[in-house]
Amino acid sequence: MAPRDALEAPPVRVLANGASARKIRSALTRRGFLATALAASGAVLFTACAPQKASAASEAHGGPLEDRLSIYTWSDYDDPKILSAFTKKSGPKVVVDAFNSNEELIAKLVAARGTSGYDIVVPSGLFILPMAENGLLEKINLDLIPNFATMNPNFIHRSFDPKNEYSICKAWGTTGFVYDKTVISRELTNWADFVDAAQKEASGRTALLDDPAPLCGIYFWSHDIDWNTTEKKHLDACESFLTKQLAPHITTFDSAPGGQIIPQASAALVQSYSGDARTGMAASKDPERWQWVLGAPATELWMDNWAIAKGAPHPEAAHAFIDYIIAPDVQLAQVDYIGYDTGVQGTQQKADEAGLERLDMVYFEDAQVKTMHEQKFTSAQERIVSIWNATKAAAGA
């Protein structure tokens, strides 16, 4: 997707998206940021996030690589073969941990106060600026990442990080859903259909993303309400709808349903990020039983980013890995594995030439991109997290 700051630039056929997408246009206050972490973790974190200076140990200058690299990212978000190839080529052993939402990531880093042990983290664009301002990220030394020059201009210098001081695009994507046609025989085309099927044919067999914004988005998008609304009446109605009408029919919350839920057909209706839906369908024994639906009449647009965590114990390895992973010669395999446009120039043409399947779930047309909207960090963020928690509780998760 080629989303630009307001999507009013000349049309480009690209993918829409940490995940993500998730973009910041209005300033996020320190209080609002910490409230989000507090709501997500249930811990007292208001004094835990004082901005910190970079330590010499966490800075990179192009010296020898350390023997280890720790990444905290969304589940199953990189081709294991690429990770192994990096270790074989450069030395550092890569260890990966996964989170389900930006709020979970933030809570972990806030609580750690620069001692998380993670080198690379993958937040969505919306959260880059507040994370940087609250001392959760290190600055990136672009001199150590020459492959940054291969990035598509549409995916760099975004408003949340104009100089790419703290982030580099990992992937763009959007959100929709898939349904099992052996269970749901009618055609579903939009979020209203999703809600209806969840309460009927897919009752007890519906999976939702474990992510606050797109979870609440189901209500806002299906009721033609701006998902960045801060109006109390809309937020109250959203919570009532999700906790009372939808939650009783939900079987699980999972931000990576392409890993097991879709391949194993353990749910019949699955809210999913576009790329994850693609990989899940490809892994299914019967891919044709699944139908992908781009959320309509509106849905989200997100961008996930490579970033370096405050206090990263292996900064040289972190920079070397980011440079390696965005190299054009490894991007085709990465795009095929994760199912998202990674923002590297020429990848779409290579994917077409290689005959990769379901590229309509990777690269979106201009008309589709226009229906996708980035999340803004508003005064309602804490309430959105609260609704997420309340919905999970009501569903027994």
Tokens of 22: 């998730």
Q: How far apart are alpha carbons 290 and 284 in whole angstroms?
A: 9
* Domain boundaries 30-171+303-358, CATH class: alpha beta
**Do 173-300+376-394 and 30-171+303-358 have the same topology in CATH?**
yes
Q: How far apart are alpha carbons 126 and 24 in whole angstroms?
A: 4
pLDDT at 247: 98
Say what angle helices 328-338 and 80-90 make with each other, to 10 degrees. 150
Supply the DSSP string of 204-253, one letter for each residue.
T-EEE-S-HHHHHHHHHHHTT--TT---HHHHHHHHHIIIIIIGGGEEEE
Single-letter amino acid code for the residue at 108: K
- pLDDT per position as a tens digit, 294-315: 999 999 999 999 999 999 999 9
- pLDDT per position as a tens digit, 10-62: 222 222 233 332 222 222 343 344 445 545 544 333 334 444 555 556 788 89
Whole-prediction pTM value?
A: 0.79
Question: Using an 8 Å Cβ cutoff, are 201 and 180 in contact?
Answer: no
Q: How far apart are alpha carbons 350 and 331 in whole angstroms?
A: 9
71 has which bridge partners?
A: 96, 120
pLDDT at 377: 80
Residues of the chain with pLDDT under 50: 1-35, 38, 41-51
Q: How far apart are alpha carbons 95 and 318 in whole angstroms?
A: 12
For residue 94, the tally of other CB atoms under 10 A from its CB is: 20
> What's the residue count for the chain?
397
**173-300+376-394: what fold?**
D-Maltodextrin-Binding Protein; domain 2 (3.40.190)
Closest C-alpha among 164, 157, 203 to residue 308? 164
Tokens of 12: 């480009």
Closest C-alpha among 377, 325, 303 to residue 89? 325
Say what angle helices 328-338 and 347-354 make with each other, to 10 degrees. 60
For the chain, the structural domain boundaries read: 30-171+303-358, 173-300+376-394
69 has which bridge partners?
A: 94
